[in-house]
Amino acid sequence: MSTSDQPDAITDAREQFQNGNPEAAFETLTGEVQRLHDRVRDLNRDYEHAVAKTEQLQDDVTDLEANLEAKDETIEALQTETEQRKAANERLQDRITELEADNDALHAENDRLQDRVSRLEDELDRRPHIEWAGPDPTELAITSSEAGNTVKPYQAIRDRVEADTHELLEERVQRLEDGEANVVVRGEFDGDELPIERKIAMRKAGGDLSANKARATLVFPKFGGHADTRGGSQLVLSSSDVRAILRETTDRSEWPNETIKRTMQWTAKLTSHRDEKHDWGARDDENLLTLRRGRDGELELVADIDEYREYYAELEEAQKHE
C-alpha cells in the first residue's frame, strides 16, 4: 500500500469498527502498522547507505586534498631546484668565461716563455761546452764555443791543493758517490743541524712521526749514494730513485706516485736552513735539497754538489768529536 492509501486504511478500520467488526478493524490497523514499520526500516537502511556514501566521499575529498597539497609541495620543490640550477648554471658560465680568459692569458704567457726558451737556447749555444760523462771529476772539460780552447778545472784545482788534503777530500767524495757511506745524524744538536737530522733521531728513538716525515728520514740518508751527478755541479735524485730507496728500506714493493711526491716534498722541506717552520718550502733554493721537476716531467731532489759535500764533511767531522 502506498502513502496515498494511508487515509483509506484508517477510514476502513473506523467503518469496520462502527459496523461491529472490531477484528477486521484490528487486522486492518495491524497491517497498516506493519507497512509503516517496513517503511521506516527501508528509510533507515537508505539513510545508513547515504551516511556511508557521504563518509566515503569525505575520505575521497580528504585524499584528494592531501594529494593536491603534496603536488603543490612538489611543484614548489621543483621551482626551487630550477632556480638553484639556473643560479648554478650562471656561476658555471661565469667560471667558463674566467677560464677562457685565463686560457688566453696562459697562451700569451706560453708564447712569451717559448720566446724566452728560444733566447736561452741561443744563449746556451754561445756558452762554453761542458763535457763530462762522470763520475770521475778529473774528466770534466770546458771548451769555449768561439775560441775552441779546452780547460780541465778539476785538474787545475788539484795542482794547487796539497796532496794529502786532496786525497782526503777525494776519498770522502768517492765514498759518498759510491754509496759506501750514508748520511748520519749528529750525536748532539747545537742548533746548526737540519730539521731532517732531528727527525731521523726521533725515528731511531721510536718517536711519533707522520708517515711522510718517517719516509723522508729513510730517503735523506740514501741521497748521496743514489743521486746522479749532473753538469758537474748538481746531485739529482729522481722520483724513480726515491721509489727504489723505499723498496730497499721498507717491506713494501709498490708505492703510489702521490705518496712518492709527498715523501719528496717533506724530504726537501726538512732540509731547510730557515728557522721558522712556516717558511719551509720544498722548492726553496736555500734548502740543502730542493724539489724540482725535470725536463721529462719527473720530480727530482736537487742539491748543489759543493754544498752537499761540505755538509757531508761537517757531519763526518762532528762524528769524530763525539
pLDDT at 199: 95
DSSP category for residue 110: H
Distance CA 178, CA 175 (A): 5
Cα three-residue angle 212-270-208, rounded to 5 degrees: 45
The continuous run of DSSP H or E covering 290 comes out as strand 290-293
The continuous run of DSSP H or E covering 141 comes out as strand 141-143
Q: Which residues of 216-240 are buried (b: 16+ CB within 10 A; e: fewer)?
A: bbbbbbbbbbbbebeebebbbbbbe
Residue linked to cell 502513502: 3
**Amino acid of residue 124:** L
CA neighbor of 306 nearest in space, from 221, 225, 235, 227 = 235
Per-residue pLDDT of the chain (322 residues; tens, 9 = 90+): 444 445 688 898 899 889 999 998 899 889 889 998 999 999 999 899 988 998 998 988 888 888 888 888 888 888 889 889 988 888 988 888 888 888 888 878 877 877 676 566 556 555 665 665 554 555 566 665 554 555 566 555 554 444 444 454 455 555 544 444 444 555 454 557 899 999 999 999 999 999 999 999 999 999 999 999 998 899 999 999 999 999 999 999 999 999 999 999 999 999 999 989 999 999 999 999 999 999 889 999 999 999 999 998 888 777 666 5
pLDDT at 93: 87
Distance CA 11, CA 32 (A): 12
DSSP character string of 14-27 = HHHHHTT-HHHHHH
DSSP category for residue 128: P
Q: Is the separation of the CB atoms in 5 and 32 below 8 Å?
A: no
Distance CA 133, CA 207 (A): 43
The continuous run of DSSP H or E covering 229 comes out as strand 228-230
CA neighbor of 290 nearest in space, from 268, 267, 270 = 268
pLDDT at 182: 47
Domain boundaries, the chain: 3-100, 185-320
Distance CA 140, CA 153 (A): 7
Q: For the chain, how many residues are written? A: 322
DSSP category for residue 206: T
Q: Which residues of 281-291 are buried (b: 16+ CB within 10 A; e: fewer)?
A: bbebeebbbbb
CA neighbor of 186 nearest in space, from 175, 168, 200 = 200
DSSP category for residue 227: P
For the chain, give me the number of helices (H) and strands (E)? 10, 7
Cα three-residue angle 241-304-200, rounded to 5 degrees: 60
pLDDT at 313: 86
Q: Is the separation of the CB atoms in 250 and 218 below 8 Å?
A: yes
Q: Which residues on adjacent β-strands are paired with residue 303? A: 235
**Alpha-carbon Rg of the chain, whole angstroms?**
50
CA neighbor of 264 nearest in space, from 233, 304, 218, 229 = 218
Question: How many C-beta atoms lie closer than 10 Å to residue 305's C-beta?
Answer: 20
